[in-house]
Structure 1
Amino acid sequence: MSHQADIADLVVVGAGPVGLLLANYVAGHDLKVVVVERLPQLIDYPRGVGMDDECLRAFQAAGLAEAVLPHTTPDQWMRFVNGRGTVFASIEPKTRVFGWPRRNAFIQPLVDKVLAEGLGRYPSAQLLLGHTVNAFTQDNDGVDIEAEDANGAKRTIRARYVVGCDGGRSLVRKALDISFEGNTDSNRWIVVDLANDPSGSPNAYLHANPARPFVSIALPHGVRRYEFLLFPGEGQGDDVPREILESMMAKVVPDPKNIDLIRARVYTHNARLASTFRKGRVLLAGDAAHIMPVWQGQGYNSGIRDAANLGWKLVSVLTGIAGGGLLDTYESERRPHAAAMIKLSETVGKILAVRNPVGVAVRDTMIWIANLFPPVKRYFLEMRFKPMPRYERGVVTFGGVQNGKASAVGRMFIQPMVTKASGETVKLDDVIGVKFALICWGSRPDRWMSAGTVRILERIGTEIICAVPMVQQAHEVPLYNGITVLGDKSGDLKEWFGQHDEAVVLLRPDRFVAGACAPQRIDAMVAEVAETMSYLQPLPGAAAAVPRVAVVNRA
């Protein structure tokens, strides 16, 4: 047997969507990344089926959103149907506040393939399929990983950090002796994926039918997913007899024998959260850190949020911009939101699975009454009940309420369309790139920035954007000596700043607001953000160029 040794900045265990996206982020900064996956190929059957706008924005940051879009169905509504066939609640968000549709159906194997192929852009990235991690040990400087392929060839990889993205049964989590707290629902369900959709109707329907609750979801490329609640005695383990499957399918298709079955799999809903997301130089992300019932489609999206949050922090630490303490903010920011999404998913599951006649009557009556009130109805239609990530600890300076208005700090920033001076219209993130951004309205920030602030912004990689009305463009361009001029065509930036007291925001690479202030406080705000991210001062004598400045203009 052969034995190979390798050196990497990061080893990712698990080639699911979270691990692959994280690897794309880090490898995109010329850092060496090795992804180790025990299976000989990527999983080729559908798993996650719902993708939100935050998820697409994360793919956009990795330069992969356009390649993902052909495998999605935008604006997929979710409708709740009672036992009489009446839609009693509907989730139909039409917002594009983050630049993408809020709800999208998708085919996970095809999106995973896009992410895997994305690694091919980077010579510093390596994907090892069919390799099992047998053991790992860590010290103060790194982690030694022992991996073995199907032929018994062993490989030792020395990495500066390791992230376990190896699913709910994570070997990495178990090796770290991290508890996985939570519960497993006693109900069993069967998921049935069909090719050549025998229904053809769009959208997703959650049938809260007391006779047998079930779900029907239209997916791209003619795939249909059904999920049925199983009753006691209907099959043992993961096996459900064909006749029972056909009897359930007979409720939803005219000819249950004439279907193109992709797979039928029995599962139970788990709601679990790791007690910690980090031990030393090893971290957990995705299902290895948290798993939740499927009812809001947030398991997949929560994992992608992990990758977006952790990716830029790993880059900052691995490139020497920040100390290892920055990685502690990953857990303090992500774990509370994962817990909130687990609770939401459990609640929706309980609403769907009610079978007691009294409980069904109470549920349907309460929802019918709620629908009589337009504000309450909009609350569900626009998906406002979804707990949006809001970071109160971590790489944020302050939050709460100021002058009667909620602070923007700790929240995700909007993504409007902006127009360049050339006339090209693009999404805001495409102007910023995968870096920080200082965005101002109505004031030139360089007037208020000290040389020290300039050095910090340059070192962390910052795009500075001044937003001004479009009618001022001809006047402002000469003052900025030909610096790029962009246009806020819809006026969304002006409206956003009009709703907040802070005229300056500093965005993190994951587009969350790290700090907000008046122009005259830019120096103090940048210093505070630098402190929260464990910023490391450059070596004496290191030069720093002035950050690039862009001017945004409103049409």
Structure 2
Amino acid sequence: MTTTRPDLQGASPRHTQVAILGAGPVGLMMANYLGQMGINVVVIEKLDRLIDYPRAIGIDDESLRTMQSVGLVEQVLPHTTPWHAMRFLTPKGRCFADIQPMTDEFGWPRRNAFIQPQVDAVMFSGLGRFPGVSWRFSRALDSFTQHDSGVTLTLTTPDGKGETVTADWLVACDGGASTVRRALNIPFEGKTAPNQWIVIDIANDPLGTPHIYLCCDPQRPYVSAALPHGIRRFEFMVMPGETEQQLRQPHAMRALLSKVLPDPDNVELIRQRVYTHNARLAARFRAGRVLLAGDAAHIMPVWQGQGYNSGMRDAFNLAWKLAMVVQGRAGQGLLDTYQQERRDHAKAMIDLSVMAGHVLAPPKRWQGALRDGVTRILSYLPPVKRYLLEMRFKPMPQYRQGALVADPAGKPGPVGKMFIQPKVTLESGEILRLDDVIGPRFAIIAWGNNPLWGLTAAQISHWRGLGCAFIEVVPEVQIHTSQDNHPGVMRLGDSDNRIKTWFADKSASIVVLRPDRFVALSAIPQTLGPQLTRLAGALHLAPVQESAGCPHSLQQPEVA
């Protein structure tokens, strides 16, 4: 793997602020986000290079927004196929569920196919932008200990020598078989599916048809997925009595492919592998100075493509909080909100993935017949079609406790949900996506009024010390004339009328966005001040000095 800076092979023992165990997608995203915030990070990986074979094949709009947050989305997009539909077929080929949401409220297509090794490589290359981030491959973790002020990791190098790394914090992104989770005796609750599946990836796609099809064949359910760069993925259920060794035989492989191809011999095989579906959730995501993320915290069946995306949500939720704690901007209590916010949603995604698996391959034969009959009737109902097409069945994250200020009366509202990302117009006339204007920081956004009104001088100083952006959004036609300007407030034009539409459906006219773009509180000008005081407590904010501001640059560094 070519890098911009050599792997620290043979490095002497050293200290870092954050050690990340695992150079998979979650670990790489954590390292990129922490690196851009100026945090010293060491990524430790047991393999000698990044995994180079296809694994996950679906990346959603939330994950692309996370890539955008570290300035890498433009490098990722060439390895994706946007607007990728998922279609469930009956044994006779009738499509009974067509999932192709066309909304882009978060700034990117909802469903996208992608090639994971290429995207992982983009994230790894991105680490070269940050002088405080380094990596050590071919390092086996022998043991670790933690104390009040940090964690000590004992590693073995490729030549069998011992190596020690000390860190203020350890983020374990070391997969479903997490050594760290096991050492901490954290239960991994759930179950393993009784059947296995074999995945076959083929170059120069012999079918060429777009989208992904889940074929509910009672004899042998299978999946056919078109991927970027001319790759086709097939997945077949392993039937009782079959072994991986048997299925790897040429005649067995030919029999499988003959179900989906007229000429099963004329293919360019990339790889084949048998895997098991697990649905498990860690009892805790934090133990002292150790945090679990990605598959180390939760694993789920692949049927909704949410394993990878749930890991990205973990990284986005945890990285900004950990950065604030390391920088002394917030107390350690902020890290407890990571489990409060992420665990319940991870469980919801596990349940959704298990349900989708049962739709594809029902445990009982009669359940498949019932599914086919019921879906034929329901397909004539427009609300059902919209429910599937718009992917309304997908549980969207909504945090009801944690680093936020919920409605005291418990009324539903925007707090705890991700804010939209429309395009906005700057006073210069430039049109950008909202996140590219805000940058990696908090933002207080007001519709058509001054977000500073009603705040005390101390509050304004406090939030400016955190690097918070104060933003007034106005109709796009107003942004082209200098008017209603307020010192220290950024004016943005509502390019597509989407922000006004969003606020028009709410009882508030001001929102506070966290760095991960979730709404931390909503208010009107008269209630913003008291609400900000409550939010400071929920965030465990430390007193802020004027010299301790977050990076204010709105430009993301380019990939080296």
TM-score (normalised: structure 2):
0.94
Shift of 1:367: 1.2
* 2:440 corresponds to which of 427, 434, 458: 434
* 1:87 corresponds to which of 73, 95, 98: 95
- Whether 2:78 is the aligned partner of 1:70: answer yes
In 2, Cα distance between equivalents of 1:187 and 1:431: 48
In 2, Cα distance between equivalents of 1:215 and 1:97: 29
Deviates more, 1:416-425 or 1:489-498: 416-425
Shift of 1:469: 2.0
* 1:530 corresponds to which of 536, 543, 555: 536
Distance 1:494 1:234, change over 3 A: same
Shift of 1:153: 3.3
Aligned-residue Cα RMSD (Å) equals: 2.1
Q: Is the 8 A contact 2:246 2:252 kept in 1?
A: no
In 1, Cα distance between equivalents of 2:320 and 2:310: 17
* 1:464 corresponds to which of 467, 470, 473: 470
2:135 aligned partner = 127
Spell out the pairing of 1:415-454 with structure 2 (5 A cutoff): 415-454=421-460
Q: Is the 8 A contact 1:207 1:213 kept in 2?
A: yes
In 1, Cα distance between equivalents of 2:107 and 2:52: 29
Spell out the pairing of 1:360-439 with structure 2 (5 A cutoff): 360-399=368-407, 406-439=412-445
Distance 1:44 1:182, change over 3 A: same
In 2, Cα distance between equivalents of 1:317 and 1:385: 35
1:287 aligned partner = 295
Q: Is the 8 A contact 1:454 1:546 kept in 2?
A: no
2:63 aligned partner = 55
In 2, Cα distance between equivalents of 1:547 and 1:300: 29
What is the identity, as a one-letter code, of the residue corresponding to 1:472? Q
* 1:480 corresponds to which of 453, 472, 486: 486
In 2, Cα distance between equivalents of 1:462 and 1:13: 31
* 1:148 corresponds to which of 133, 156, 175: 156
Q: Summarize deviations over 1:75-98 as a string: whole Å, max 9, x none.
A: 000000110011111001000100
In 2, Cα distance between equivalents of 1:470 and 1:230: 57
In 1, Cα distance between equivalents of 2:173 and 2:349: 19
Q: Is the 8 A contact 1:401 1:407 kept in 2?
A: no
- Whether 2:234 is the aligned partner of 1:209: answer no
TM-score (normalised: structure 1):
0.95
Shift of 1:155: 2.2
What is the identity, as a one-letter code, of the residue corresponding to 1:33? V
- Whether 2:513 is the aligned partner of 1:510: answer no
Shift of 1:421: 2.0
In 2, Cα distance between equivalents of 1:401 and 1:87: 44
Distance 1:263 1:238, change over 3 A: farther
In 2, Cα distance between equivalents of 1:545 and 1:267: 48
Spell out the pairing of 1:8-407 with structure 2 (5 A cutoff): 8-236=16-244, 240-354=248-362, 356-399=364-407, 406-407=412-413
Deviates more, 1:482-491 or 1:326-335: 482-491
In 1, Cα distance between equivalents of 2:377 and 2:51: 44
In 1, Cα distance between equivalents of 2:117 and 2:30: 17
What is the identity, as a one-letter code, of the residue corresponding to 1:215? V
In 2, Cα distance between equivalents of 1:77 and 1:343: 21
Please list every run of 5 or more consecutive structure 1 residues that lacks an aligned counterpart in the other structure. Answer: 551-555
Shift of 1:134: 1.2
Distance 1:314 1:355, change over 3 A: closer
In 2, Cα distance between equivalents of 1:401 and 1:253: 59
Distance 1:293 1:240, change over 3 A: same
Q: Is the 8 A contact 2:477 2:493 kept in 1?
A: no
In 2, Cα distance between equivalents of 1:441 and 1:39: 50
Distance 1:253 1:78, change over 3 A: same
Shift of 1:192: 0.5
In 2, Cα distance between equivalents of 1:153 and 1:248: 46
What is the identity, as a one-letter code, of the residue corresponding to 1:27? G
In 2, Cα distance between equivalents of 1:161 and 1:243: 51
In 2, Cα distance between equivalents of 1:218 and 1:264: 16
* 2:527 corresponds to which of 500, 521, 525: 521
What is the identity, as a one-letter code, of the residue corresponding to 2:114? F
Q: Is the 8 A contact 2:69 2:435 kept in 1?
A: yes
Shift of 1:480: 3.2
Distance 1:547 1:344, change over 3 A: closer
Distance 1:330 1:171, change over 3 A: same
Secondary structure at the residue paired with 1:185? Answer: strand
In 1, Cα distance between equivalents of 2:254 and 2:179: 37
- Aligned-residue sequence identity (percent) comes to 50
In 2, Cα distance between equivalents of 1:118 and 1:221: 22
Q: Is the 8 A contact 1:165 1:288 kept in 2?
A: yes
Q: Is the 8 A contact 1:292 1:345 kept in 2?
A: yes
Secondary structure at the residue paired with 1:163? Answer: strand
Q: Is the 8 A contact 1:249 1:256 kept in 2?
A: yes
The size of the alignment, in residue pairs, is 546
* 1:493 corresponds to which of 491, 496, 499: 499
Q: Is the 8 A contact 2:221 2:361 kept in 1?
A: yes
Q: Is the 8 A contact 1:399 1:408 kept in 2?
A: no
1:553 aligned partner = none
In 2, Cα distance between equivalents of 1:251 and 1:508: 49
Distance 1:7 1:317, change over 3 A: same
In 2, Cα distance between equivalents of 1:242 and 1:544: 64
Q: Is the 8 A contact 2:154 2:164 kept in 1?
A: yes
Deviates more, 1:252-261 or 1:50-59: 252-261
What is the identity, as a one-letter code, of the residue corresponding to 2:118? L
Please list every run of 5 or more consecutive structure 2 residues that lacks an aligned counterpart in the other structure. Answer: 1-8, 555-560
